[in-house]
Structure 1
Amino acid sequence: MKPALQKPPGYRDPAQPQPQPQPPPPQPKPAPSMRKAYVPPSFHPKRKRRLNFCSCRRCCCLLCVSLLVVVIMVAVASAVFYIWFDPKLPKFHLQSLKTPKFNVSVKPDGTFLDARTVARVEATNPNHKLRFEYGETEVRASVGDDDVDDDDVELGSGHVPGFVQGRRNTTVLKFETEVRGAQIEDGIGRKLKVWHRTNELVVSVEIRTRFGIGVDKFRLGMVPVRVRCGGVSLKKLDAGATPQCSINILKWINLH
């Protein structure tokens, strides 16, 4: 017997029923998109920048070191200046005060004062290497009771132009003040009459100016200075007393 022929691969017998095609497997539905809706950049919240603490700490350290260096340099420069120049403040003395005119008149409508004064103040520069420079100077004179400042009566004011005072120099400043028809209290007027007759008037002089220090061609600033002299009677001044004046610098430093 002849051997049976083998069917080629993929051969289908036409006598056999054809198998029904299988439907394709269902396709999985795509997952819903997670993409967010578009937002314009102008609506985006601003992110806070984180501070770099290391940089801040470094800047603070550099600032502190710089300030310390500046303070040390200023201190060293001040010490060198003080040692080299040995600066000293000026000295003021009230040399004299005269009253060529002093008239207290009592009228029906009150008591009035007419007075003219001439004051001399001695200013001394004790420095060997520094000069003093003064701006325009104003002087005010007053008279009253040494124990009660409220009873002081103004005798007017005068002015002296600015000037330069050389090293180891003494300058006498002459001021003239005048007051006319100044109304005063009746009780004070009676006291002034008695004090003037007995030469017991207690006088005071206040000098207001601006003061600077000069070194060669340089000038070290100008600061406000107020000098107060007096609290002494005319009798003592006539006897030769020259009371030293107190100095007020920058309105809060008092020196005697």
Structure 2
Amino acid sequence: MADPSNPKPKPILQKPPGYKDPNKPLISKPPTRKAPIHPAYHQKQKRKSCCCCCCCFMFIFILLLIIIVAIAGGLFYLWFKPKLPSFQLQSLETPKFKVDVRPDGTFLDSQTVIRVQARNPNSKIGFSYGKTQVRISAVGVDGVGLGSGSLAGFEQGTRNVTVLKFSTAVKNQLIEDGAGKRLKARYQSKQLAFDVEVRTRFGLRLWGWETEKLGVRVLCEDVRMRKSTGGASPKCKINTLKCSIWRYGPTRGF
């Protein structure tokens, strides 16, 4: 029989998970502090942002500049309608042509007069020419040149035709014996032909301003003696040698 004076101890109840004692004072944790950011990081971010802004600005500026130049070029072309000058061989004369066969070799004496037309078809734009050079040679006879000549630069107004006159000469030029015989026979039969090459440079002139000069090469091939003094003018090939750009600087009168 149980002793009433000595009762059994009550079992200790287990606390459920997540149980909080209401009598226990709450202890608040101190807030966590973020690590300070180094000042160099902010400088890098600012530099990166500035670089992006500069790149965007430059891209927009270049794009606008291209659009403005394109519009200005289109308006310039529509208003002035610029055209390149044309060149034509007007005449070729040989007042003297002599092949002299001597014991010490074959020698050539020759004089040539060449006239070339330079035409400006523009009604609002003039041309400024630099030094113009001409060179003439006989066709079918290698290594036999008939001299060269040059003219000083000149200015050409609107809708203008200018005739350029060149004189070339060779005296006592030693040539190969076989070439001398062919030249003499062709000259006597009026079958002698020439190649005429003209090189010059021209620039546009507008409102007292002038562009950089563009190189031009005019080549008139196989010009026959019988065709060079009259009738239809020989056809010539025209090739440009260099692109032109505007030169900022006024020139005298236009």
TM-score (norm: length of structure 1): 0.70
Residue aligning to 1:85? 80
Match of 1:208 among 199, 203, 207: 199
Partner of 2:166: 175
Unaligned runs of 5+ in 2: 1-42, 245-254
How many angstroms apart in 2 are the aligned matches of 1:216 and 1:244? 34
What is the deviation of 1:59? 3.9
SS at match of 1:248: strand
Q: Which AA in structure 2 matches 1:228?
A: L
The C-alpha deviation readout for 1:15-73, integer Å capped at 9, x for no partner, is xxxxxxxxxxxxxxxxxxxxxxxxxxxxxxxxxx9796555454444433333333222
**8 Å CA contact retained: 2:94, 2:111:** yes
Matched, 1:184 2:180: no
**Contact 1:91 1:244 survives alignment (8 Å):** no
Give me the whole-angstrom Cα distance separating, in 2, the residues matched to 1:125 and 1:137.
Answer: 16
Give the deviation of 1:89 after TM superposition.
Answer: 1.0
1:165 aligns with 2:153: no
Map 1:67-216; keep pairs closer than 5 Å: 67-145=62-140, 151=142, 153-216=144-207
CA distance in 2, matches of 1:218, 1:252: 17
In percent, how many aligned pairs have the same letter?
49
Q: CA-atom RMSD, angstroms?
A: 2.5
Distance 1:113 1:251 in 2: 36
Give, in angstroms, the shift of residue 201 of structure 1: 1.5
SS at structure 2 position matched to 1:240: coil
> Which amino acid counterpart does residue 71 of structure 2 have in structure 1?
V
Deviates further, 238-247 or 114-123:
238-247
- In the alignment of these two chains, the number of paired residues is 201
Summarize the Cα distance change of 1:160–1:232 in structure 2 as closer, same or farther, 3 Å threshold. same
Taking structure 2 as the reference length, the TM-score comes to 0.70
Deviates further, 84-93 or 73-82: 73-82
* Gap change, CA 1:84 and 1:244, over 3 Å in 2: farther
Q: Kindly provide the amino acid, as one letter, of the partner of residue 155 in structure 2.
A: V
- Which structure has the bigger radius of gyration? 1
Deviation at 1:192, TM superposition (A): 0.9
Question: Please, which moves more after superposition, 62-71 or 209-218?
Answer: 62-71
Deviation at 1:83, TM superposition (A): 0.6
Q: Unpaired runs of 5+ in structure 1? A: 1-48
The answer to whether the 8 A contact 1:105-1:112 is kept is yes
